[in-house]
Amino acid sequence: MTVTSPDVGYVAGGTYNRKVFLLTIEGEHLWTVDTGSPVWGGVAVSRGAEYVVAGTDIGDLLVYNNEGTLLWSKRFRGKVNDVDISADGSVIAVACGDAKVYRYTNLGSEVWAHNMNSAVLSVSVTEDGRLIGAGTKEFLITVLDPEGQKVWSYKINGQVFGLDLSPPDGTYLIAGGNDAYTYVFDDEGKIVAQLQPASRVNDVSAALQGVYFALGRGDGITTIYGTDGIMVTEVSASASINSVSLSPLGGALAVASSDGKLYLYSLPTPAVPVTPVKTPAPTPPIVDPPGADGILSFSSAPSGATVYVNNAVVGITPVTLPPLKAGQYPVLIRLDGYNDWTTTINLLPGDTVNVVAQMTAATPVSTPPVPPAGFLPVLAGLILGAVLVLRRSDD
């Protein structure tokens, strides 16, 4: 099992031979701990690897800090089949063989437990922690709100081995399992794409607002699809794929295979969809006086930040927008690990405005550089030749 951190600085993994480990995105080994039981329940990591969460075959939920120190643990009556954590680490979700999905705080307090009436095999938390999705042995997919109340549910035709909510707010949910299909749902629980891979799907992952969906298959192939359900590319490993993890913006893909290898791939830069940002704050109206169009150009330090204009994603810094009509434009620039940068631009006819956002770190976390383009296998038989965990369908 493997997963990348929301800031794409770290990769965490769990193995059948009772290990949990943390690496930098370049493949530098930071630490390994012995959990005392196979890590069937996978791993999850928050921004900056402040929290690394793992679930084990004997029912332990283990929470470590970025130095590998155990902060707290909880033992459940059933196997921990999957875990996930919000970007800031405040929301931890647990899929358990006792037929419940649990929500915990990062301090170890149980917030609620929702009975799913069947062993819960997979779980996902949105980056902002507002939604938790869960999939069961009896084919049911359910999305829950912060209070543990059902938002929507859907029954497919197979056990839900893999499930993921797209960052940052769950615009899409992808679910796959041992039936012939993988399903993509919108935030109302309606199917927007139905994929039919050539092999059983062991794990899935979604990037920002569904720009990419990754399917890790039993035949050793990882397939990347766009929101429209059309295949973008595929990569192969020498054995069955146990887990896949897309970075939030979709530029990096971590793949763990059952031959004990962990791979890191870079992907083509996806076109970020222009989707309204869900926010309670009112949006200043855009003024459209007559006259020539103006130009807005955005850059940030560091670069790679998501730019929102009038509450819609328009690109990743550095970016220059097509000509816009004169008027007022509210701007939000957001980057994981940094405070939001906001302003309102009064664009005059014929103006060219160059916006430079100096991002300030929310916490003193170092951000490793983005991995180079191309295929980057970073590990081979790292942890004592361990075989990474294959999520099992049994509870």
- Write down the pTM of the prediction: 0.69
In the chain, % of residues over pLDDT 70:
85
Indicate if the pLDDT at residue 391 is higher than 70.
no
Q: Which amino acid is at 371?
A: P
pLDDT of residue 373: 42
Average pLDDT on 90-96 reads: 96
| All structural domains of the chain | 2-272+372-380 (2.130.10.10), 295-358 (2.60.40.1120)
Indicate if the pLDDT at residue 170 is higher than 70.
yes
Average pLDDT on 293-316 reads: 86
CA distance 296 to 98: 54
Q: Which amino acid is at 10?
A: Y
Of 82-86, 193-197, 386-390, the least confident: 386-390
Count helices and strands in the chain by DSSP H and E runs:
0, 35
pLDDT of residue 286: 41
pLDDT of residue 187: 93
Contact 307, 333 (CB under 8 A): yes
pLDDT of residue 11: 92
Cα–Cα distances (Å) from 307 to 21, 210, 273, 346, 360, in that order, read 34, 17, 12, 17, 16
CA distance 229 to 219: 20
CA distance 378 to 261: 9
Q: What angle do CA 251, 254, 257 make, to 5 degrees?
A: 150
User: Comparing 375 with 5, which gets the higher pLDDT?
Assistant: 5
pLDDT of residue 288: 42
- Nearest Cα residue to 175 out of 143, 148, 131: 143
- In the three-class reduction of DSSP (H, G, I as helix; E, B as strand; rest coil), residue 74 is classed as strand
Q: pLDDT (tens digit, 9 = 90+) per residue, 97-114?
A: 999 999 999 999 999 999
Average pLDDT on 210-239 reads: 88
- In the three-class reduction of DSSP (H, G, I as helix; E, B as strand; rest coil), residue 41 is classed as coil
Rounded to the nearest integer, the mean pLDDT of the chain is 83
Cα–Cα distances (Å) from 48 to 176, 203, 395, in that order, read 29, 24, 32
In the chain, % of residues over pLDDT 90:
46
| Total residue count of the chain as it appears in this document | 395
pLDDT of residue 372: 45
Highest mean pLDDT among 96-110, 267-281, 365-379: 96-110
Q: pLDDT (tens digit, 9 = 90+) per residue, 20-50?
A: 999 998 889 999 999 999 997 789 999 999 9
- In the three-class reduction of DSSP (H, G, I as helix; E, B as strand; rest coil), residue 11 is classed as strand
